[in-house]
């Protein structure tokens, strides 16, 4: 697996470590990134269902009153 080195604000990383209950800066960043990715996938799943329902509603012939 490829690795990336970046600089982060130490206070920010410490706060994430405390909130996530992890003991290392590496783990803290990985927890945040994994959570962000999982949240994105959940959002995609919800919006995909909504988009599909909207497309189906638009493709149905409308009744003329």
Angle between helices 25-59 and 10-20 (to 10 degrees): 80
Given the structure tokens 């945040």, which residue do they identify? 32
Report yes or no on whether pTM surpasses 0.75: no
Structure tokens at 40: 């994105």
Q: pLDDT tens for residues 35-59?
A: 999 999 888 887 776 777 767 777 7
Q: What is the DSSP letter of 7?
A: -
Q: How far apart are CA 20 and CA 17, in angstroms?
A: 5
């Amino acid at each position: 697996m490829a690795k990336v080195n970046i600089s982060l604000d130490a206070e920010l990383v410490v706060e994430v470590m405390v909130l996530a209950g992890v003991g290392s800066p590496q783990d803290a960043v990985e927890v945040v990134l994994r959570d962000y990715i999982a949240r994105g996938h959940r959002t995609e799943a919800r919006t995909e269902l909504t988009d599909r329902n909207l497309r189906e509603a638009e493709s149905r012939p409308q009744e003329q009153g």
